[in-house]
Amino acid sequence: MLVFAATVLVAIVGLGAGARELWAYKTTSGDPGDVAARWPAVRLELDREHATLVMLVHPECTCTMASLTELARVLPELGPVRAYVVVRGGAGDGGGPVERRARALAGVEVVLDVDGELHRAFAAETSGHVVVYDSAGALRFSGGLTLARGELGDSPGARAVRTAVQRWASPATETTQAVFGCPLRGPATGAAP
């Protein structure tokens, strides 16, 4: 009886604690960063006729796989757009799963940001962070494409990206959404890798 009661108690506590931790992990958004309001002077080329979309990702972040999946779902709906996936670090030898997944996406140019220059230029802090600039270089969207970390499915971010790209010619309005993903910089050093 005692063993039974102890087992049930431990199991319930485990369930509760696990659910709480999972809940916290999933729903805690990443650092939105101080994203550049204007297209920075980087080696990426700004599309002067259409909107330009840049997703900044961590090469090992599994949560970002969901963001890439959502990007793949959203891209065909966007119409003409120049899209970059900037992989921080860049491992070479075919890269990690994130890079491989990104390279599999059609209409996306994968750029390796070995020294972190691009990440610093765009000032993104969380993997999966998407920024959309209009042809004039003005920031039209900043945020993530997922509802929670690693969570698939439609999201306000995806819809906002759609709006930002499709109406890039309209008067500039900036939309911001929360980003869910791994931090692009380590907490201990605070330095970009």
Binding residues for other proteins (CB under 8 A):
4, 7-8, 10-15, 17-19, 21-22, 25-27, 58, 60-63, 65-66, 89, 127, 147-148, 150-156, 158-159, 182-189, 192-193
Measured from the CB of residue 149, what is the shortest distance to other proteins in angstroms?
8
Smallest CA-to-CA distance from 55 within 42, 67, 69, 73 is with 67
Task: Report the residue number, 142 or 146, with the smaller CB distance to other proteins.
Answer: 146
Rg (Cα) of the chain, in Å, rounded? 19
Which is nearer to other proteins, 120 or 159 (by Cβ)? 159
Q: 45 — alpha (psi -120 to 50), left (phi > 0) or beta?
A: beta
Q: In the bound complex, what is the minimum distance in angstroms from residue 25's beta carbon to other proteins? A: 4
Nearer CB in complex with other proteins: 127/142: 127
Residue ranges of alpha helices (H) inside the chain are 2-27, 63-78, 97-103, 117-122, 156-166
Shortest Cβ distance from residue 126 to other proteins (Å)?
Answer: 10
Minimum gap (Å) between residue 186 Cβ and other proteins: 3
**Phi, psi torsion values for 3, nearest 5 degrees:** -60, -45
Residue pair 30/181 in contact by the 8 Å Cβ criterion:
yes
Give the residue with the Cβ less far from other proteins, 40 or 59: 59
